[in-house]
Amino acid sequence: MLYAILCYDHEDAIGAWTKEEEAAVMGRLSVVQEVLSRQGRLGPVARLVPTTAATTVRKAQDPVVLDGPFAETKEQLLGFFVVECADLEEAIETAKDLARANAPGGSYEVRPIALFKPGQIQTEGAAG
């Protein structure tokens, strides 16, 4: 089963990291990602830009578009991992591995994925 592991933290704290702190955390996370990849369990991984770049579309009969995230939360969604796991216990263990590799603070939310349709979006600069 596929699981989304959502990474939450205070983006101001993460944004204040030095280049060295950033490189150290990303290096530790890449080790976990490489293991998952070798096991054939790693799906898409995304790191989101800060919420200051967000736009919100409020659901309604006529949707309303607002600048900003307007999230009612102290921690922001920073990114996510999609992983293949046999069950919830394995997904939780995977999230624990990511948590140990990351900086202290924040949290990982583990949620089963009900529907996954991989797309074929080509990003700028990608080889074609």
Over the stretch 6-64, which tens digit does the pLDDT of each residue have? 999 998 899 999 999 999 999 999 999 999 999 999 999 999 998 888 888 878 778 88
Please report the sign of the dihedral spanned by the C-alpha atoms of residue 31, residue 34, residue 35, residue 36. positive
- Sequence-separated (6 or more) residues with CB below 8 Å from residue 14: 78, 103
Q: Is residue 120 part of a domain?
A: no
Task: Write out the two tokens for 65.
Answer: 């578009």
Cβ atoms within 10 Å of 40's Cβ, excluding its own = 7
Return the CA Rg of the chain.
16
Q: Is residue 44 part of a domain?
A: yes
Cβ atoms within 10 Å of 14's Cβ, excluding its own = 20
Containing structural domain, residue 59 = 2-112
Q: Is residue 119 part of a domain?
A: no
Q: Is residue 125 part of a domain?
A: no
Over the stretch 65-87, which tens digit does the pLDDT of each residue have? 877 666 556 788 899 999 999 99
pLDDT band per the 50, 70, 90 thresholds, residue 106: confident
Q: Where are the beta strands (DSSP E) in the chain?
A: 2-9, 42-47, 55-58, 64-67, 76-84, 107-112
| pLDDT given for residue 109 in this prediction | 93
Q: Is residue 128 part of a domain?
A: no
Q: Decide: 45 and 33 in contact? Cβ < 8 Å.
A: yes
Tally of domains in the chain: 1
